[in-house]
Amino acid sequence: MKLKKHFEQGGKLERLYPVYEMLLGMLLIPPMPTRSGAHIRDHYDIKRMMVSVIIAGVPALIFGTYNAGYQHYLSAGVYASVMDCFIKGAWLVVPIFIVVYAVGGFWEVLFAVVRRHDIAEGFLVTGFLIPLIVPPTIPLWQVAIGTSFGIIIGKEVFGGTGMNVFNPALVTRAFIFFAYPSSISGNEVWTSVGSKVVDTYTMATPLAVATSAGGSDVVKLLADNGYTFSSMFFGLEPGSIGETSAFMILLGGVFLLLNGVASWRIILSVFAGGYLTALLFNFAAPGAGHPFALPAHYHLVMGGFAFGAVFMATDPVSASATNTGKYIYGFMIGALAILVRLVNPAYPEGIMLAILFMNAFAPLIDSVVIWGSVRRRQKRASK
């Protein structure tokens, strides 16, 4: 606290006050008691909400770390213990976290210093989610560029935490996908050992298998490649680090719901929209060998659908805020995700684009809902 005078207005280090305030908040309890007026005191603040999201994502992270190592040894044809898989997975996953937090933290501090405002806690969650939505083999320099784009263009240009229109983590993934598609999609990116090691080893994701049915029964084709509904639900399959295990994701989702962080309306409507849309395509399928014939409940555990519904669509900043709007917003995300999966053969995953698209429409949805409520109240008042 003796250093405070150097960072306050008029001090030699005045411009670095946001950095001082950040370190003070992390290491000490700031002596800022309430002095006057009526205040609502609650134990649940922004920092605790951010920590809750991170805690909810830990099961998916732990399993994703193990799965990264498991897929590595599986592709090499080597039997490995659980500990070996965790160690190898950590060697792949931890560097991604370090790069994301280092690069993203740099931009957060820089913008806070230039704009002379406090460093927000929002990046704690964004930095945690970005590594979970990329494959374990993603080049670190691409992670650095993508994180820079997601923080600067996805958040800071809008004014920082709480002002962004789009989810910054998804903006990062979208940038990497369109700028470096070979590093984030395709069968060769999901393990740290290429297919040249074992030519007979398949690394295709379930979505890639399902979209290439080619006249074969799509469910049987998935089973022949080792993908049953149960295996996809629990998640021992190729995929992005935190997206493969629907079971672990749902555990985190329950924690978020119990803490009141995530909106159950959004989560429920995303799954409902996805299921009903997939069911509609089932009726339109010309036969069991068409991707449209994939059972509706399979879609809910494949790819990043569950992770997007629980952790991305529920972002309170970029999602709809009204209760009715949340139902519409979530339902459209689920429906669009399945539509992109099944209609666009070049892009078998659709949850990322669906969420970003609906992020842009969330304010409009809320506006229509609010004005509809206002008009109904006016009619009742005029009677």
Q: What is the pLDDT of residues 310-349, one digit of tens each?
A: 999 999 889 999 999 999 999 999 999 999 988 886 677 8
Percent of the chain residues topping a pLDDT of 70:
79
**307 and 208 part of one domain:** yes
Domain count, the chain: 2
**21 occurs within a structural domain:** yes
Give pLDDT tens digits for 117-126. 766 677 889 9
The domain boundary, picked from 172, 196, 220, lies at: 196
Given 3-state DSSP classes, what are the helix, strand and coil percentages for the chain, each rounded to the nearest 5? 65, 0, 35
| Residue 110: pLDDT band with limits 50, 70, 90 | confident
Q: Do residue 179 and residue 326 come from a single domain?
A: no
Are 97 and 223 contained in the same domain?
no
How far, in Å, CA of 109 to CA of 87, rounded?
Answer: 32
The residue out of 177, 196, 215 marking a domain boundary is 196
Domain range for residue 362? 204-377
Dist CA 330 CA 358 (whole Å): 9
Whether 37 is covered by a domain: the verdict is no
Pair 186, 222 in one domain? no
Predicted confidence at residue 114, as pLDDT, reads: 79
* Matching residue, tokens 């399902």: 210
Of 49-53, 73-77, 204-208, 239-243, the range with the highest mean pLDDT is 239-243
The residue-averaged pLDDT of 147-157 equals: 92
Has residue 28 got a pLDDT over 60? no
User: Is residue 304 one of the residues assigned to a domain?
Assistant: yes
DSSP, collapsed to helix, strand or coil, labels residue 155 as coil
The answer to the question of residue 174 being in a domain is yes
Find the range with the poorest average confidence among 166-175, 209-218, 277-286.
Answer: 209-218
Residue 363 corresponds to which tokens in the numbers above?
């304010």
- Mean pLDDT of all residues belonging to the chain: 84
| Cβ proximity of 129 and 57 under 8 Å | yes
Same domain, 186 and 213: no
Please measure the distance between the N-terminal and C-terminal CA atoms of the chain and give it in whole angstroms: 63
Instruction: Give the pLDDT of residue 328.
Output: 97
Are 8 and 151 found together in one domain? yes
Asked if the structure places residue 90 within a domain, the reply is yes
Q: Rounded distance, CA 137 to CA 93, Å?
A: 9
In a domain, 3, yes or no: yes
Residue 196 pLDDT > 60, yes or no? no
| Domain match, 96 and 162 both | yes
Residues 208 and 341 in one domain: yes
- pLDDT at 183 exceeding the cut of 90: no
Would you say residue 383 lies in a domain? no
- Say yes or no: 235 and 353 in one domain: yes
Q: What would the mean pLDDT of 258-282 be, rounded to a whole number?
A: 94
Q: Where are the alpha helices (DSSP H) in the chain?
A: 4-7, 17-27, 46-76, 82-115, 122-132, 140-152, 168-179, 206-210, 218-224, 229-234, 246-258, 264-284, 296-299, 305-307, 323-343, 351-382
What is the rounded average pLDDT of the residues 127-132? 94
What is the C-alpha to C-alpha distance for residues 7 and 379, in angstroms, rounded to an integer?
Answer: 57
Confidence of residue 201 (pLDDT cuts 50, 70, 90): very low
Examine the domain organization and report whether 258 and 358 are in the same domain.
yes
Residues 132 and 157 in one domain: yes
